[in-house]
Amino acid sequence: MSENKLADRSDYSEEQVSGATVIAQALKIQDVKYMFGVVGIPVTEIAIAAQQLGIRYVGMRNEQAACYAASAVGYLTGRPGVCLVVSGPGLVHALGGMANANMNCWPLVVIGGSSERSQETMGAFQEFPQVEACRLYSKFSAQPSSIEAIPSIIEKAVRSSIYGRPGACYVDIPAEFVNLEANVNSIKYVECCLPPPVSMAEMSAVFTAASLIRNAKQPLLIIGKGAAYAQAEEEIRKLVERCKLPFLPTPMGKGVVPDSHPNCVAAARSKALQFADVIVLFGARLNWILHFGLPPRYRPDVKFIQVDICAEELGNNVKPAVTLLGDIKAVIRQLLEQFIKAPWQYPPESNWWKTLREKMKSNKASSQELASKKSLPMNYYTVFYHVQEQLPRDCIVVSEGANTMDIGRTVLQNYLPRHRLDAGTFGTMGVGLGFAIAAAMVAKDRNPGQRVICVEGDSAFGFSGMEVETICRYNLPIILLVVNNNGIYQGVDRDSWKEMLKFGDATTMVPPMCLLPNAHYEQVMTAFGGKGYLVQTPEELQESLKQSLMETAKPSLINIIIEPQGARKSQDFHWLTRSNM
Q: Is the pLDDT of residue 398 over 70?
A: yes
For residue 400, how far is the Cα from the chain centroid? 10
State how far the Cα of 118 lies from the Cα of 108, in Å rounded to an integer: 29
> Residue 303 is which amino acid?
K
Instruction: Note the pLDDT of residue 421.
Output: 98
Q: 243 Cβ partners below 8 Å, 6+ apart?
A: 213, 339, 344, 345, 346
Q: What is the pLDDT of residues 151-172, one digit of tens each?
A: 999 999 999 999 999 999 999 9
What's the confidence (pLDDT) of residue 142?
98
Instruction: Tell me what pLDDT residue 13 has.
Output: 65
Q: Is the pLDDT of residue 480 over 70?
A: yes
- Rounded to an integer, the average pLDDT of 440-456 is 95
**CATH fold for domain 16-186:** Rossmann fold (3.40.50)
Confidence of residue 26 (pLDDT cuts 50, 70, 90): very high
Q: How many residues does the chain have?
A: 581
Give the pLDDT band (50/70/90) at residue 12. low
Task: For the chain, give the mean pLDDT.
Answer: 94
Q: What is the mean pLDDT of residues 131-148?
A: 97
CA angle, 198 then 202 then 203, to 5°: 115
Task: Grade residue 120 by pLDDT with cuts at 50, 70 and 90.
Answer: confident
Cα–Cα distance between 480 and 475 in angstroms, integer? 13
How many angstroms separate the CA atoms of 441 and 312, rounded? 34
**Residue (of 428, 441, 398) closest to 32 by Cα position:** 441
Q: What is the mean pLDDT of residues 169-179?
A: 97
Q: How confident is the model at residue 118 (pLDDT cuts 50, 70, 90)?
A: confident
Residue type for position 558? I
Q: Does domain 203-356 sit in CATH 3.40.47.10?
A: no
Supply the pLDDT for residue 553.
77
pLDDT exceeds 50 at position 7: no
Measured in degrees and rounded to the nearest 5, phi and psi for residue 535 equal -125, 145
Confidence label for 2 from pLDDT (cuts 50, 70 and 90): very low
CA 445 vs. chain centroid, Å, equals 19
Residue 576 confidence (pLDDT)? 57
> Average pLDDT in the 39-51 region?
97
Q: Where in the chain is the domain with CATH 3.40.50.970?
A: 16-186, 373-561
Q: What is the pLDDT of residue 3?
A: 45
Nearest to 214 by CA among 291, 277, 147: 277
With a pLDDT cut of 70, the percent of the chain lying above it is 95
The answer to whether the CB of 385 falls within 8 A of the CB of 370 is: no
What is the C-alpha to C-alpha distance for residues 464 and 68, in angstroms, rounded to an integer?
Answer: 11
Mean pLDDT across 525-545 = 98
Of the pLDDT bands very low, low, confident and very high (cuts 50, 70, 90), residue 575 is low
Asked if 73 contacts 80 with a C-beta cutoff of 8 angstroms, the reply is: yes
| Cβ-based burial of 500 (10 A; exposed 0-12, middle 13-18, buried ≥19) | middle
Rounded to 10 deg, the angle between the 19-29 and 44-52 helix axes is: 50
Q: What is d(CA 473, CA 476) in angstroms, rounded to the nearest whole number?
A: 8
Residue 534, beta-bridge partner list: 559
* Res 563 pLDDT > 80: yes
Residue 431 CB contacts under 8 Å (≥ 6 apart), including other chains? 68, 72, 100, 400, 421, 422, 423, 424, 464
Task: Write the pLDDT tens digit of every residue in 364-397.
Answer: 999 999 999 989 999 999 999 999 999 999 999 9
Averaged pLDDT for residues 561-579: 68
Nearest 5°: the CA angle 52, 55, 57 is 95
CATH T-level fold of 373-561: Rossmann fold (3.40.50)
